[in-house]
């Protein structure tokens, strides 16, 4: 992973509403990212919807 940035720092605590992190990946992490999406999307229908929305946004950015 290239860079992980949390504003404010999230390590060691539960994230509050509107807190977020930025994770920068490159093509070397494609397999890892796809496996994470697969696992996350089978956890529940809501998670599946979230993954589809994330993938839609990624596709629009290309």
pLDDT at 22: 72
DSSP category for residue 2: -
42 prior amide bond cis, ω within 30: no
DSSP class per residue in 15-45: PPTT-EEEEE--GGGHHHHHHHHHHHHTS-H
SS3 label, residue 4 = strand
Reported as a single tens digit per residue, the pLDDT across 8-46 is 666 677 777 877 777 777 888 888 888 988 898 898 888
pLDDT at 5: 57
H-helix or E-strand containing 10? none
DSSP category for residue 8: S
pLDDT at 2: 47
């Amino acid at each position: 992973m290239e860079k992980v940035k949390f504003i404010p720092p999230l390590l060691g605590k539960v994230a509050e509403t509107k807190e977020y992190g930025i994770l920068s990946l490159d093509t070397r992490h494609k397999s890892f990212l796809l496996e994470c999406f697969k696992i996350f999307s089978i956890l529940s229908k809501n998670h599946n919807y979230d993954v589809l929305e994330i993938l839609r946004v990624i596709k629009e950015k290309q």
